[in-house]
Structure 1
């Protein structure tokens, strides 16, 4: 009976953190399908050997640590650039030039919100090494590519803040849209290289719909979504964005997500 209760407790602990593991896996691999494959492998490893889930750590750190061991044991593989066409091929070519382990450290720290010490635990390195990996990632990604960014955000103060962060990375803000129709109009006039969109807009229109409208007209381009309720979107029941920032956000989260999305040109969007 105690074993059954232990398994139930473990399921609850993992279930709470699983949406965030899937978000991290998607951002790391650049695709929902590939990311979910690693997430499933992580769960299977824990089921096969529950001791892999270290109870002395916080549940989120313990889960991500198992994932990292799976990821690293597979060699953190990426497809060969020559085998891919278009935007994905260019993304993989850029990935090949990154310093090893830097992107993992940056995502863990800036997007998932782990402290440096937790990143070190997850990756099996010292805190100093983790901090160095994060710094290198920021430098390499921020310098790698610059482009035009459309901000879709109905709250004026947040729109200004996000625009300032985006411009500090060397990108040009092509416009700020408060509604779905406004976003589509601005994108048509000045096509962006990246879209940064809130989910709920001023006239109760959908940032998701706005993005899908724009992509249907202009074609593939990277997208970063922002929402106060990420768990409502990370359900696995429909296509999900690789880059999803939670409100309230930090400057680090925006900088990391924008740099990652621009660098890897992730284009997965939510279904309407």
Structure 2
């Protein structure tokens, strides 16, 4: 299937590792022009960019910090200057909750105002600022696509994730409403909701293998998704093959409930 992504200008935030990296490389496979962002690990981002180009795409890396209030506007300016426009936005960058491996997850009653605000600002406000800054270019595209990456935790919940899941839930609500505002301009807006992925690396917390095995045994498929499986869903929703899916959640969880 031709996904119609050749030479499309694509922005993948948080593209230097895990789902973001797999997504950037998948766009490269379709011949897209890809900007991927990183917070601090430029070397990792450049390695992903090289893989994008090996797959047939063109790549560009930009530093981007969700906790810098001026960063969203600068990021979109850099992308538009590089490619002459923007056709696809994948909002994937994330700010994890602080986690002390010796004490376990911090419960909500122990959260401070500062820690709560930091997570909401990074995982909701900054994402909305990126969306807002990108909309003029996406409208000019005539067939813009937005994919916001959320988490299955908004439906399942987990100890220590109250502020994080509140932010990610807000991102879905915003996506649903935004789909009504921009649909007549040819812009489609969707959310991909991953569960645990089998090949996630360098996360700020460790999931015990026994728990991973238990969860996997309960899945209809008997296996956890990979980063590539999530990327495949993102790329389809962002493609020209997607003609009318908008305002929706696509779950990539292996059937986890």
For the superposition of Structure 1 and Structure 2, which TM-score range results when normalised by the shorter chain?
Answer: 0.3 to 0.5
Per the normalisation by structure 1, the TM-score is 0.38
Structure with the largest fraction of helix? 1
Q: TM-score, normalised by structure 2?
A: 0.40
